Amino acid sequence: MKSKNSKKQAFKKCQNRFRGLVSDYRSHRFEMNRRFPKTLIFRNGLKELYLEAQAILQPSQYETFLSWLEVQINTSLKDFKRSPVGYEELNGVGNTVPLTSTKNQLLWLAARFNRQRSTLNYFLNLKSKVEQLALHGEYGGALEALDEIDLENGKSLWSIQLRIALLQQCEGLEEQKRFTAQVRKIYRQGLLNFVAFYTSVRNEEKTTYPKFVSEVSFRLSNHKKYSTAVKDFLNLLLTQQWPDQLERKVGALQVSESHSLIDAYETFIHFSQKITEDKVFSQGQAGEYSVVAHALTRLKGINDHRIVKLKLSAGQIERFDGLNLRQQGVLNYLVSGKVYDSFTETLQLLRDRAPLDSWLLIYCCYAHCFKTRVSPRLFNSIAGSIINSVSRVLAGEDIVEWLGSCQKLCANFSTLPSLNGLSKYLETLFGSSFSVYSTLAAISLDSQFTGPEDHLLRELSVTEQELSLKNTQGPTQSLWSTLCSGAAGTEELSTPQDCFFRSISHMRSRSFPTAIRLLKKAAKLDESEIFDLLIFDSLLTSYTELGEYSEIIDLVASFVAKYPQVHTILRKIEIVEQITWDDFKKLDDVSIRKAIGLHVSWALYERASDATRLRFVTGNLVRALGVKLPSDLVEYRNELPFNELIYLLKYICIPSILDGTQLFKSSREVMEERQAICAVLRELDPLRSSDYEEEIAIISNQLAHHDVQHIVDSTRIYVDTDALTRWALRELSEDIERCRDLALVDFDDQVNFDDLFDDLSHASQKLDESFKPETESELLLLKIFDRMREEFLNNPSFGLDFFLSKRVRHQSFIGFIRGPLEFSKLITNKDTKYGKYSHNDEWVNRLAPSTPESRNALLNSFSKFSERFDGILQNAKNNKFQINSQEKPEGLISLDISAHTIRLAQIIFRLDLSVEEFISTAIAVCWAQLEVSLSRARSYISSTLKSDVAQTFDELRTSIKRKAGGSDRALEADMQIGQKSNEVQRKLDETKKWFSHRDIEQYKRSFKLDHIVNIAIDSSLKCHRSFDPDIRANVEQGDMQMAASVLVFINDAISAGISNSEKHAGLKRPKIDIDVVPFPESKRLMVKVVTDSRPSNKDANLSRLREIEQLIADGNFHRRSRKEGGSGFIKLAAVVKQSDRGSIQFGFEKDGRFNLTVFYSLIFQKSGQSNEAETTI
């Protein structure tokens, strides 16, 4: 306790401080470069004095000091009193002073508001007028009333936010942006600029509220100049979110005191409401609430219904003078089951422009659920928009979209108590609180009327008696009495409203089993289903309190099945995170809700364990229901819950889930079953039949593409064994015959073949030196296999390296892996072949570095990432995915001739096979031996390559964290980079499949020519993802059936044309015309690719084209066909030149476009009623 002397000294200090402000204000001394008028400087000093006074004075001195201050200003500063306030109270936050106790701060504000009650009452009267005019769409009148407030009290953050919202409603975006721009020019510093800008953004038509909240949170968290208290205050103004800790709430309240009286008063009211809600309705800290209640007792003569309601909740109310009774017509009709009359009453309220509050708006929303056709002009207002939007939410119509609209409108007009209260009701429906009673009670705190709803605020006998005297005992009174006291009279509960309100009463007394029974009855009686959300919320609360998690699964699943996607916005459903697998196992295997509950959990948290269990449960469910396939469940449509059956088939029985149910043998079967499911859904859900038809068509196309793409991917490891057989017959027949003869006459005496073996060993690095030939036949056999191995691997026209170069190394690999990064612009290219990588300004700008140094550091990190990433891929392409040789010692591909291979060949000889049969068997042996290398390549991708690539991403992400900090932008970038890393890893997994051998003969089926062309185009573009040409494809006789083998060659030609265009066209989006024409008569197939080209590129490319033409004409292209870079056309020539009917032409046309035309030799054979083509190359 301070001594009397210290109290006097503190009081005198405050007086002297004020006298100093007056002296400075009256001073006529010259001040050079004074930026602000004296009135503004004085107002700032006065606000700082207020903050200092509440900290050093005793509460008993507050009233005395403020009274003295008022007298001094009225008598000594009359010119100041007459000066317009304008924006002078919004120029910034006062100097930081030590926070006094919460109790003293609130008592100070109460004393200050009491001294300025006449000013506040003038404001409150006009505010009520603004509210009602705005609700009924009379925006011009509302703006005029707002002008009066500003003229009398000066500008406030409260009025500026409301004006922006009103201008957006009545004048549109252009006018509100014009006003916002004017406001933002007034002060460079302070909060006015920030608040005006983000309030304007929030009001824009295209802004979505959740995204806005996220953006504001990010902006504030990264703001380096604002203190925590300032950030909390701004967050409160823009998102209506209070911090959790009391100290921070008080800090935000103190910041409000650095602004206008209106801002300080409105923040005080909201602070008091928040503390009241936390204590009275949510069991908050009693100490926090006691100081608020104490401050409320000091407030006298302020005509604010919110203070009346706060005092009511604190038990301080004396009478209801000044508050009008709420109209009960709408709710009376609803409770009595006269829904049409309730809707008519709602229309009458809007026509008459009757005063509205939160509860009336809520009742009108429920009544509007029974709407008939009415003039849309009645809903061309804030109230009308709210009623229309909320009623659609209640009726289950596009809940996600309409809820977003409601939340945004409530946020834009949160300065109006009725909409602030309505937002609390939306919190009741969709928030995370499990106390329906508490959130319903909070709504009354903002209501300007009194009625039976106020029973929720305080259960005092005097209050109930007074309310009962002022309200007739009608349906509304009876309903709310039931909720508050549980009394329901002797009548039977026959309406969902009665059952629901009675259940809430039982929930308050923790009689949850009884509440559950009443809620289930309410659900049965609610034929309109408009109480679904409230009933669901209350049931979920009751089951949670009882710990009945199996019932929670059952409830959530049935509700989500009825309202799909609601789990994305209904935060209470997040309770499923606490549910364990043991809880799920308690449900019967034939319960669809078990699967739906797991799907909800998976959708919310994306846990791999949930997905695995969902696949397991779905498979068990199908088997338990006694059907073979999910689509067969249509036969039980009358026995299974309809909504749940639809949800199961639509959202759960999708390919990614079905693929792990062990119901199918292949992915094709999965896709075909999904088609069957969509066909069933068309029948069960006819309103969305077009959606299902579209999915069926997409799957049909995917199946065709899947088959063809599988052939493309599975034939990257390829050897033209027909050509190899022809070569072997020509070159090895004699040796094979000799070897057979020698094997019959070999002597037992050992002969030294070391010299000959050494010759073979030096020629081939892959001879097994543990094998030493002991006979001439063995040496000859070794020679045969060595020659076959060489041609199998390295023949420039039909060997493995030729196709490896064309189908893996030549663009495909790097383009395929690099594609996701190019598409997202995460990676850049070199300025020149030997230059540096371009700066990645796109991603660095996203991170918004604060200094030039950090920007340069980030640019360097992205360049290093591009260089490192490309280096890894180039190393794999140029060194690893090569035939192992002296030239490429790191090559992973080899064909080892081991002792086992030779012994196997000797056994084959004894089978008395013909030469052709021996060659065919020898080729099979080569493929078998090659599998060792292919496995090595796959292992390299799985371990080394994927690890190295992942490390480059990790290094980039670490660098960003180190240089950009933990900002939301950095976290978002980190998440996106992580996603791209995962996508690249998946691409690498796909490339592993390339290193597998699939015999093309197994694809002895046919496809339509147009499907083949489409998949060839898609396959090529996947390898050039950042390249976006305008492609037009023309396929003649597109329905002609072609053998699968044709695809490989069409893909090669189209890929070469697209690759050439990307490299040499010099255009961002060139036009590419592709023509594919079969000529059965001449046994040829033409693939023509014509691309745009920049004229300046023509001369630069002509000399290169002439060189390639000459190589092809001379036949000296075989060695070039195994190299990458400028060899695409040579590779095509190596194939087509194997037949007289094959040809290749390329060059510039007269119009400057580049033309590549390839003719393949084909044989067309009749097969039934269609033509089927097979290559003979």
Record the pTM. 0.61
Q: What radius of gyration do the chain's Cα atoms show?
A: 41
DSSP state of 876: I
pLDDT band at 32 (very low <50, low <70, confident <90, very high): low
In our burial notation (b when 16+ CB lie closer than 10 A, e otherwise), range 516-550 reads bebbebbbebbeebbbbbbbbbbbbbbbbeeebbb
pLDDT band at 715 (very low <50, low <70, confident <90, very high): low
Q: Is 884 helix (H, G, I), strand (E, B) or coil?
A: coil
Residue 468 pLDDT greater than 50, yes or no: no
Residue 447 pLDDT greater than 80, yes or no: yes
Predicted pLDDT of residue 138:
92
| Distance separating alpha carbons of residues 1006 and 991, to the nearest angstrom | 25
- 1006 forms beta bridges with 1043
| Distance separating alpha carbons of residues 199 and 213, to the nearest angstrom | 11
DSSP string covering 203-265: HSTT--HHHHHHHHHHHHHT-SSS-HHHHHHHHHHHH----SSHHHHHHHHHHHTTS-HHHHH
Tokens standing for 1054?
């189209």
Q: What is the pLDDT of residues 554-586, one digit of tens each?
A: 999 998 888 887 777 777 788 888 888 988 988
pLDDT: which is higher, 681 or 812: 681
pLDDT: which is higher, 1019 or 592: 592
Q: What is the pLDDT of residues 1091-1107, one digit of tens each?
A: 988 877 677 678 778 88
| Distance separating alpha carbons of residues 450 and 29, to the nearest angstrom | 58
Predicted pLDDT of residue 652:
93
| Distance separating alpha carbons of residues 1051 and 1021, to the nearest angstrom | 11
| Distance separating alpha carbons of residues 402 and 324, to the nearest angstrom | 32
pLDDT: which is higher, 30 or 554: 554
Helix axes 512-525, 496-508, angle to 10 degrees: 170
Predicted pLDDT of residue 109:
93
Predicted pLDDT of residue 349:
86
Predicted pLDDT of residue 764:
46
Predicted pLDDT of residue 731:
83
Predicted pLDDT of residue 1068:
78
Tokens standing for 862?
């992205």
Residue 695 pLDDT greater than 50, yes or no: yes
Lowest-confidence pick of 185-189, 245-249, 700-704, 949-953: 700-704
Predicted pLDDT of residue 144:
95
pLDDT: which is higher, 712 or 271: 271
106, 256 contact by CB (below 8 A): no
Q: What is the pLDDT of residues 743-771, one digit of tens each?
A: 665 544 444 444 444 444 444 444 454 45
pLDDT: which is higher, 896 or 1160: 1160
When pLDDT is averaged across residues 89-96 and rounded to a whole number, the result is 74
| Distance separating alpha carbons of residues 671 and 16, to the nearest angstrom | 85
What's phi and psi for 337, nearest 5 deg?
85, 10
Residue 275 pLDDT greater than 80, yes or no: yes
When pLDDT is averaged across residues 255-270 and rounded to a whole number, the result is 93
Predicted pLDDT of residue 427:
81
When pLDDT is averaged across residues 962-984 and rounded to a whole number, the result is 83
Sorted by where each begins, the domain ranges of the chain are: 4-83, 112-313, 562-709, 715-998, 1005-1175
When pLDDT is averaged across residues 535-541 and rounded to a whole number, the result is 87
Residue 513 pLDDT greater than 50, yes or no: yes
Q: What is the pLDDT of residues 615-668, one digit of tens each?
A: 999 999 999 999 999 999 988 888 899 999 999 999 999 988 898 888 888 878
Predicted pLDDT of residue 829:
85
In percent, the amount of the chain with pLDDT more than 70 equals: 83
Residue 816 pLDDT greater than 50, yes or no: yes
447, 362 contact by CB (below 8 A): no
Residue 902 pLDDT greater than 80, yes or no: no
| Distance separating alpha carbons of residues 1046 and 1086, to the nearest angstrom | 12
pLDDT band at 260 (very low <50, low <70, confident <90, very high): very high
Q: CA-CA distances (angstroms) from residue 850 to 197, 294, 595?
A: 21, 47, 49
When pLDDT is averaged across residues 1000-1007 and rounded to a whole number, the result is 52
Residue 221 pLDDT greater than 60, yes or no: yes
pLDDT band at 285 (very low <50, low <70, confident <90, very high): low
Q: What is the pLDDT of residues 136-153, one digit of tens each?
A: 999 999 999 999 999 999
Q: What is the pLDDT of residues 923-941, one digit of tens each?
A: 877 887 788 788 888 889 9
Predicted pLDDT of residue 484:
67
Which ranges in 1000-1094 belong to alpha helices (H)? 1009-1022, 1044-1064
Predicted pLDDT of residue 682:
86
Lowest-confidence pick of 186-190, 842-846, 1166-1170: 1166-1170
Tokens standing for 634?
């249509």
Predicted pLDDT of residue 262:
94
Mean confidence (pLDDT) of the chain: 81
Give residue for tokens 């949800």. Answer: 647
Give residue for tokens 């020629």. Answer: 763
Predicted pLDDT of residue 489:
44
- Looking at the chain, the number of H-run helices and the number of E-run strands are 52, 10
Provide the CATH topology of domain 1005-1175: Heat Shock Protein 90 (3.30.565)
1056, 1017 contact by CB (below 8 A): no
Residue 733 pLDDT greater than 60, yes or no: yes
Predicted pLDDT of residue 628:
92
pLDDT band at 729 (very low <50, low <70, confident <90, very high): confident
